[in-house]
A and B are shown apart, each in its own frame.
Chain A
Amino acid sequence: MVEVLLTNQPKERQRLAALLETFAHEQRLPAAVLQAADLALEEHLTNVMSYGYTGAGRHEILVRLQVKEGWLLVEVSDDGEAFNPLERPPADLSLPLEQRPIGGLGVHLMRQYMDDLAYERVAGRNVLRMKKRVSRYLEAGCQPDQ
């Protein structure tokens, strides 16, 4: 398992993206799995950093990455305001683009790209666990660069 400690600074997301790419390479994860985790982490961390904290204080966000029994497991823990992204209503894609709300697509992308999302509030921290099935891609014969 890899643990990454981030601060609530926007540039930290880019540092995590580089670390995730290294992790995916070492674990020989298919490109589609890397893309899904990359996108889900970008979306969730943007929400945490943008809306989770009041004031300009420094906060730490812990990200855990693990491959276990055919799944990529991603856990994000932060000490921001309680926020369960899974309570957001689904995006209404039936509306024409002219009438679409500008926001709300981040959680939609997380739901679509990851296979399972679970949230809990533990000891004053938000914990979001995301899962992506790796074995599906390997069974389909995908190579790490596919």
Chain B
Amino acid sequence: MDIRKAVTGTSYELLVSGRVDGLGANRLEEEILGAIRAGATAIYVNLSEATFLCSAGLRVLLQYWRQMKNSQRLLQATRPSAEVDSVLTTCGFREMLVEKV
């Protein structure tokens, strides 16, 4: 898995490619925590190039979606690939967590 980061002011986009499996989820969490520590007010997790998402990745998204929301900041998943979109939908995450286009 690879994560590329684009920063515009306090808005962070994390472009995730490859497998968000257990190890990938740990890596994603490190990147999100790094953005939060750096003062991000919005974090967009771009999943267009992610080919796999397991429950460990969902846990990370949910945990930091809540944390950001509770401090009047934003975390959203964006542009999920078909495989990832299926997992988000199956777990009832899509409506609330995925950016509405």
Range of interface residues on A (Cβ < 8 Å): 20 to 34
**B10 is an interface residue with CB less than 8 A from chain A:** no
Q: How long is the Cα–Cα vector from A100 to B59 in the complex, in angstroms?
A: 10
The docked-state distance in angstroms from the alpha carbon of A105 to that of B91 is: 7
> Which of A38, A39, A96, A108 is close to B96, meaning CB atoms less than 8 Å apart?
A96
- The answer to whether B62 and A46 touch across the interface, beta carbons within 8 angstroms, is no
From DSSP, what is the main secondary structure of chain B's interface residues?
helix
Q: How many B residues face the partner with a CB closer than 8 A?
A: 24
Give A contacts to B, CB under 8 Å. Answer: 10-11, 13-14, 17, 35, 38-39, 42-43, 46, 91, 93, 96-98, 100, 102-103, 105-106, 108-109, 112-113
User: What would 14 more interface pairs be, CB under 8 Å, given A42-B52, A91-B91, A103-B59?
Assistant: A10-B22, A11-B23, A14-B21, A14-B23, A35-B52, A39-B54, A43-B55, A97-B65, A97-B92, A102-B63, A103-B55, A108-B55, A109-B55, A112-B90
